[in-house]
């Protein structure tokens, strides 16, 4: 029984692009940036207790770190006048420090002036460059180009390149609460939180959003991606704003948070990768880094503070999982993971997506060979993780209607309590992880990788993960029969979990076990030079790369399935 | 109560659920500075409080009003103190759940554990007891209600001494500063100091685990042993509490605090406490059944020993005092044999948890 996927393109929920929040934001870009810079300035001032000495220290720390970054870790995207700007900041600080005639108030004002210059610069740097025309163009390029490739590969004959027999939606299946997200997007503001395994995710999600007929979402994309021109074009077109992970200073982080919060309050649907960065281990993160998630909670509270208590001011969190048979960056990611957990050593981001050539090669492979992707849209929740109904009302576990505003109320009034909101962010993070596990869709490739790795581990139960990965490959083989019976055992448990609503499975897992295994082996990490799992000439199951096997195995981590071995 | 005062946020009352000895003492302390409403399940207790200002003979501040309606209490109060025995905790919490809102602050003063098992399962039928299957009282509140701003009250607080107005202190633990500050504002007085702690699980566990040691202290007294033995017990008991607390998700620091060591010393010296009495009578040769028959209320420590014993067997850690008390209570080991066993146990390291 193959289940029906959504194959039609949805009608746009806002047909006129002038009504798109992201277009409105682009129109008011200048004022918006100014507002963000000012609000960030106020936040930082409050954090320093309006004490000129503390503010001075923060300014000097920021200056020092920025100078260091410019020297040690420059990127192509960095603007040319960076050195000059920070040189001016340095001069201004020296001048204020040297001027002993200034009163405390005057001194604070002078420092504040410098602060204003910094937050304005950061806000400008972060802001997205969305252009509706580029968006339209990108969307048609993605859809048209991809379907050409697809049909060229699958439909035989000279005219194949013009065939429309296959569309992108045959490759990428969308399941789950699609109607709900479309509906709520017209009523309130959506914050989508997908799992993050590959750099391809942001483009994929952008495409999904457009297929679902929703206006583009804004999201924070790593500035490193803008180093690659092809990506930079896509990102800008998709409404991305820029997150520079090299800048960890207070001023930058506060400006970034303010930008995100204000954009949500503006009504822009947003996209956060709550893991912060791609999952290095291949696991669904059990502990999210949270990062910008707190800004969703802040924006919700601010809306209540302003008296917007109807659905137009409500923020909906929608978890999404993206399921792949194959993650292009897997070899690099898992190496990072192992070296990070293995020993604490300095760690630099290394990108397999470093050249346009590699990406194009991957895309051609992806569309000409059969590897499917599925995207599951989860149920919408309020910012406290309660499910919401079609009118956006929150329900508790017993289906009682509750008011999300009450979470922010003390003594009858909405109050600002940063520590409270930090706790709420943790709670929301936990709820998102729970939902990820529920909507995660098991593929045949996840199953075979999981079973093979666990069998190898149980045969070498004295070895830790690092020794396991160093095992001589010629010593590792599993008899097909043993492998098959273990797969069956794990699959049975997965179906049990599914019946309890704790996991989801792809339709191909209802085939016979031999077919599932064949399908899994054909697909697991299929484009890697060294395959994580294959069947050798004697019919045994063997691996060509233990760490890749570990990576794909990790996808089923967190369900207690290890106990079956 | 008229509707006007009910809906105005300024005139919100402070709620206390349960009028046992501790609940009454806290209600009276709260009533010194605030208007208080208490909840009791039985109509006659409510009537007794409202007409003669006593609850089962214990004197209550005349300004305290009583109700048997959870809804009325939840409507009238933003802050609720749950002061109920652990055996009734889940049930009472479920009774209140439909009327609680996310704006409620709930602080409990219950030192016990609850089980989180599937329907039809009991402690006897489950072969293993994992951390997820046992809950502290704050975890019960979080699971059963929509209240999230939850705190607990723990420390050496013998109700009798509190009622006499003798100096004492307590810990309010919560993940939320707001809850700690509110608890301090409401309870602090010249005779009552209130400390804050963000490790709510650690503080709750300290209060729970010290009941085990209190039973052991009673047993030592029953055997006629002296202060050396008590010192030994308190010190080893604290080490055991630290290890257990850590295994259950609390921090070691909290065991060192008022809710841990502070309460441990008090309880091990308080001959009136139920836990102490259980140990004392065990040492005098009575069986658990005989003791239970003549006790009005259950000693929390007995239930705690059963739960913790099942937990340590599941996760494979050792807790010699708890294990041996379990054997005495439920497996017919004599108290003398248990003491012998403990004296021979290879405790070679004095402090191994900091």
Phi then psi dihedrals of residue B148, to 5 deg? -115, -25
**B105, closest residue in chain A (CA to CA):** A410
Q: Give the Cβ contact number of residue B352 at 10 Å.
A: 10
For residue B146, count CB atoms less than 10 angstroms from its CB and return exposed for 0-12, middle for 13-18, buried for 19 or more.
Answer: buried
Q: What percent of chain A has pLDDT over 70?
A: 86
Q: Cβ B103–A409 below 8 Å, yes or no?
A: yes
For residue A168, which of A143, A193, A190 has the smallest C-alpha distance?
A143
CA atoms within 13 A on the CB side of A282: 28
Q: Cβ B9–A413 below 8 Å, yes or no?
A: yes
Q: How far is CA A192 from CA A374, A438, B295, in A?
A: 16, 16, 57
Task: Give the list of residues 6+ apart from residue B258 with CB closer than 8 angstroms, or none.
Answer: B154, B155, B156, B169, B170, B171, B195
Q: What count of CB pairs under 8 Å joins A to B?
A: 46
Q: What secondary structure letter does DSSP report for A387? A: B
C-beta of residue B338 within 8 angstroms of C-beta of residue B328:
yes
Task: Give the list of residues 6+ apart from residue A563 with CB closer than 8 angstroms, or none.
Answer: none
Rounded to 10 deg, the angle between the B300-315 and B200-222 helix axes is 110
Q: Cβ A420–B176 below 8 Å, yes or no?
A: yes
Task: Give the list of residues 6+ apart from residue A163 with CB closer than 8 angstroms, or none.
Answer: A151, A155
Q: Cβ B148–A407 below 8 Å, yes or no?
A: yes
Q: How far does B9 lie from chain A, in Å, by closest CA?
A: 6
* Residue found under tokens 């301090």: B184
Task: Give the list of residues 6+ apart from residue A38 with CB closer than 8 angstroms, or none.
Answer: A116, A119
Report the C-alpha gap between A362 and A304 in whole angstroms: 46
Out of A404, A409, A419, closest to residue B176 by CB: A419
Note the residue count of chain A: 565
Q: Cβ A400–B102 below 8 Å, yes or no?
A: no
Out of B78, B146, B177, closest to residue A396 by CB: B146
Report the C-alpha gap between B317 and B105 in whole angstroms: 36
Prediction pTM value: 0.89
Report the C-alpha gap between A252 and A256 in whole angstroms: 6
Q: Which residues of A touch B (CB under 8 A)?
A: 384, 396, 398, 400, 402-404, 406-407, 409-413, 417, 419-420, 423-424, 427
Out of A400, A413, A420, closest to residue B178 by CB: A420
Report the C-alpha gap between B16 and B31 in whole angstroms: 10
Out of B97, B103, B176, closest to residue A406 by CB: B103
Out of A402, A419, A424, closest to residue B177 by CB: A419
Residues of A in contact with B146 (CB under 8 A): 396, 400, 402
Residues of B in contact with A427 (CB under 8 A): 148
Q: Cβ B178–A398 below 8 Å, yes or no?
A: no
For residue A197, which of A293, A381, A334, A338 has the smallest C-alpha distance?
A334
Q: How far does B318 lie from chain A, in Å, by closest CA?
A: 23
Phi then psi dihedrals of residue A478, to 5 deg? -120, 135
* Residue found under tokens 């146990």: B345
B123 at A interface, C-beta within 8 A: no
Q: Cβ B178–A402 below 8 Å, yes or no?
A: no
Q: How far is CA A266 from CA A210, A258, A294, A313, in A?
A: 20, 12, 16, 10
Q: Which residue has the higher pLDDT, A25 or B208?
A: B208
- 191-250 of B, contacting A, C-beta below 8 A: none
3-state secondary structure of A398: coil
The lowest-confidence range among A98-112, A134-148, B217-231, B275-289 is: A134-148
Rounded to 10 deg, the angle between the B200-222 and B137-144 helix axes is 140
Q: Cβ A412–B102 below 8 Å, yes or no?
A: no
User: Which residues of B are identified as catalytic?
Assistant: 210
pLDDT tens, N- to C-terminus, chain B (354 residues): 344 433 444 578 999 999 998 999 999 999 999 999 999 999 999 999 999 999 988 999 999 999 999 999 999 999 999 999 988 999 999 999 999 999 999 999 999 999 998 888 888 888 889 999 999 999 999 999 999 999 999 999 988 899 898 999 999 999 999 999 999 999 999 999 999 999 999 999 999 999 999 999 999 999 999 899 999 999 999 999 999 999 999 999 999 999 999 999 998 988 888 899 999 999 998 988 899 888 877 788 999 999 999 999 998 888 999 999 999 999 988 888 888 888 877 766 777 766
Q: How far is CA A477 from CA A137, A326, A462, in A?
A: 50, 22, 18
C-beta of residue B206 within 8 angstroms of C-beta of residue B269:
no
Q: Cβ B146–A420 below 8 Å, yes or no?
A: no
Q: How far is CA A550 from CA A443, A504, B312, in A?
A: 16, 21, 32
């Amino acid at each position: 029984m193959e289940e029906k996927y959504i194959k039609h393109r949805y009608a746009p929920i806002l047909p006129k692009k002038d009504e798109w929040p992201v277009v409105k934001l682009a129109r008011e870009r200048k004022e918006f940036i100014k507002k963000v810079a000012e609000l960030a300035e106020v936040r930082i001032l409050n954090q320093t207790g309006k004490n000129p000495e503390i503010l001075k220290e923060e300014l000097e720390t920021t200056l020092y770190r920025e100078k260091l970054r410019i020297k040690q870790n420059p990127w192509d995207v960095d603007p040319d006048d960076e050195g000059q700007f920070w040189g001016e900041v340095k001069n201004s600080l020296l001048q204020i420090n040297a001027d002993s005639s200034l009163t405390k108030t005057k001194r604070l004002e002078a420092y504040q002036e410098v602060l204003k210059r910094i937050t304005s610069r950061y806000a400008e740097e972060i802001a997205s460059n969305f252009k509706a025309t580029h968006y339209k163009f990108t969307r048609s390029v993605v859809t048209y180009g991809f379907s050409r490739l697809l049909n060229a590969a699958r439909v035989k004959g000279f005219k194949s390149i013009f065939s429309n027999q296959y569309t992108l939606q045959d490759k990428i299946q969308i399941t789950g609460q699609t109607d709900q997200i479309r509906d709520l997007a017209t009523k309130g503001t959506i914050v989508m939180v997908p799992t993050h395994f590959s750099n391809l995710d942001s483009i994929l999600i952008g495409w999904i959003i457009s297929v679902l007929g929703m206006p583009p979402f804004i999201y924070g994309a790593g500035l490193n991606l803008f180093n690659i021109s092809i990506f930079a074009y896509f990102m800008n077109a998709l409404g991305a704003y820029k997150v520079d992970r090299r800048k960890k200073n207070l001023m930058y982080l506060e400006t970034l948070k303010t930008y995100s919060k204000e954009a949500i309050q503006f009504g822009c649907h947003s996209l956060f990768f709550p893991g912060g960065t791609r999952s290095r281990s291949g696991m669904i993160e059990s502990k999210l880094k949270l990062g910008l998630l707190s800004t969703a909670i802040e924006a919700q509270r601010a809306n209540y503070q302003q008296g917007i208590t109807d659905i137009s001011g409500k923020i909906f969190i929608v978890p999404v999982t993206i399921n792949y048979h194959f993650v292009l960056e897997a070899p690099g990611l898992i190496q990072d993971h192992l070296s990070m957990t293995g020993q604490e050593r300095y760690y630099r981001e290394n990108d397999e997506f470093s050249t346009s050539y590699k990406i194009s090669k991957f895309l051609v492979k992806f569309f000409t060979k059969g590897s499917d992707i599925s995207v599951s849209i989860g149920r919408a929740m309020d910012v406290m993780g309660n499910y919401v109904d079609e009118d956006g009302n929150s329900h508790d576990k017993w289906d009682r209607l509750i008011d999300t505003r009450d979470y922010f109320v003390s003594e009858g009034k909405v109050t600002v309590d940063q520590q409270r909101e930090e706790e709420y962010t943790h709670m929301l993070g936990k709820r998102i992880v729970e939902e990820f596990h529920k909507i995660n869709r098991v593929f045949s490739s996840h199953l075979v990788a999981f079973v093979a790795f666990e069998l190898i581990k149980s045969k070498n139960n004295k070895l830790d993960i690092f020794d396991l990965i160093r095992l001589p490959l010629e010593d590792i083989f599993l008899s097909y029969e043993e492998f098959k019976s273990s797969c069956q055992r794990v699959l049975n448990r997965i179906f049990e979990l599914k019946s309890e609503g704790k996991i989801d499975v792809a339709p191909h897992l209802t085939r016979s076990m031999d077919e599932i295994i064949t399908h899994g082996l054909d697909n697991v990490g299929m484009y890697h030079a060294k395959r994580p799992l294959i069947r050798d000439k004697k019919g045994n199951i063997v691996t060509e790369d233990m760490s890749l096997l570990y990576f794909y195995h990790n996808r089923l981590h967190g369900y207690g399935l290890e106990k079956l071995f | 109560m008229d509707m006007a005062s009910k809906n105005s946020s300024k005139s919100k009352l402070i709620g206390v659920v349960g009028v046992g000895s501790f609940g009454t003492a806290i209600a009276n302390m709260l009533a010194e500075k605030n208007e208080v409403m208490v909840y009791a399940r039985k109509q006659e207790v409510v009537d007794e409080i409202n007409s003669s200002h006593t609850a089962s003979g214990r004197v209550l501040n005349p300004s305290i009003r009583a109700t048997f309606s959870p809804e009325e209490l939840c409507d009238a109060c933003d802050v609720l103190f749950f002061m109920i025995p652990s055996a009734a905790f889940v049930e009472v919490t479920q009774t209140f759940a439909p009327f609680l809102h996310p704006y409620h602050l709930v602080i409990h003063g219950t030192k016990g554990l609850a089980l989180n098992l599937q329907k039809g399962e009991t402690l006897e039928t489950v072969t293993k007891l994992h951390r997820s299957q046992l809950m502290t009282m704050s975890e019960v509140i979080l699971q059963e209600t929509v209240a999230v701003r939850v705190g607990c009250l723990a420390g050496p607080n013998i109700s009798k001494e509190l009622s006499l107005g003798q100096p004492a202190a307590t810990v309010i633990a919560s993940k939320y500063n707001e809850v700690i500050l509110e608890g301090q504002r409401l309870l602090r007085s010249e005779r009552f100091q209130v400390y804050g702690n963000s490790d709510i699980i650690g503080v709750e566990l300290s209060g729970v685990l010290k009941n085990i040691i209190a039973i052991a202290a009673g047993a030592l007294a029953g055997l006629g042993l002296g202060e050396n033995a008590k010192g030994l017990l308190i010190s080893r008991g604290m080490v055991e509490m630290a290890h257990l607390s850590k295994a259950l998700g609390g921090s070691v620091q909290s065991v060192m605090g008022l809710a841990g060591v502070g309460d441990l010393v008090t309880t091990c010296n308080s001959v009136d406490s139920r836990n102490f009495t259980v140990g004392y009578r065990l040492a005098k040769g009575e069986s658990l059944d005989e003791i239970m028959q003549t006790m009005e209320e259950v000693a929390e420590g007995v239930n705690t020993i059963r739960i913790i014993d099942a937990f340590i067997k599941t996760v494979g850690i050792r807790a010699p005092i708890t294990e041996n008390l379990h054997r005495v209570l439920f497996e017919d080991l004599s108290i003398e044999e248990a003491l012998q066993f403990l004296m021979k146990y290879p405790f070679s390291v004095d402090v191994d948890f900091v």
